[in-house]
Chains A and B, each alone.
Chain A
């Protein structure tokens, strides 16, 4: 149903959360899944899912995350790689994000780099053309300098 290669753009609907880690649960290890995951408890290790990951506001996560979409309302320490990451009002992230799109709500906290999956070189500052240089070099009073000629 959720094949990793074909349906990567089409994530399963949020309503069907297949795996839930409850608020009193504490997990240490790795999780791999194809469906949606919701974490409300403590998680340490690595999470990988082809579906969405919802991090509840009580959650404490010390893990590297790979998921389709990630919604952060709790605390995450670790790198996140996803199509889309949204950090909600109560969300806190310490780590680098690799995303296609990213939103940060008011009050949300992110400490780390935000990188895009596709790399793009920034626009270079071009050297000024000769014409511009000439006009710049036109003789005239230099601003701020006291000129006594008119007197």
Chain B
């Protein structure tokens, strides 16, 4: 599912940053580890790890990540990553650069 590009510093299993289901973030996040979002996020996400967008998440963001795995109902914004994986339920709106 994920390409092992060798640039990932944190193992994919180890999610360093988690934004919980009741949390509402507005701003910019930069990370070297993997990020999982289950809540609401608005802004910019930049990570050299993976970005996992949970089922209940609402994300309105410009995303620059190594991998994006999205199972969310709604993701809006521009995203750039090596691989973008979306589930059947998920949809991403915006420009995608793989």
Contacts and interface: CB of A to CB of B under 8 A. Distances in A.
Contacts of A33: 20, 22-24, 39
Contact of B31 (A2, A25, A45): A25
A22 interface: yes
Contact of B27 (A18, A23, A29): A29
A32 B27 CA distance: 12
Interface string A26-37: 111111111101
Chain B interface SS verdict (over half): strand
Q: Give the size range of B's interface with the partner.
A: 20 to 34
A24 B23 contact: no
Chain A contact patch, size range? 20 to 34
A2 B22 contact: yes
A53 B88 CA distance: 36
Contacts of B30: 25-27
B31 A18 contact: no
A23 B20 CA distance: 17
Contacts of B19: 19
Interface string A12-52: 00000011111111111111111101000100010001000
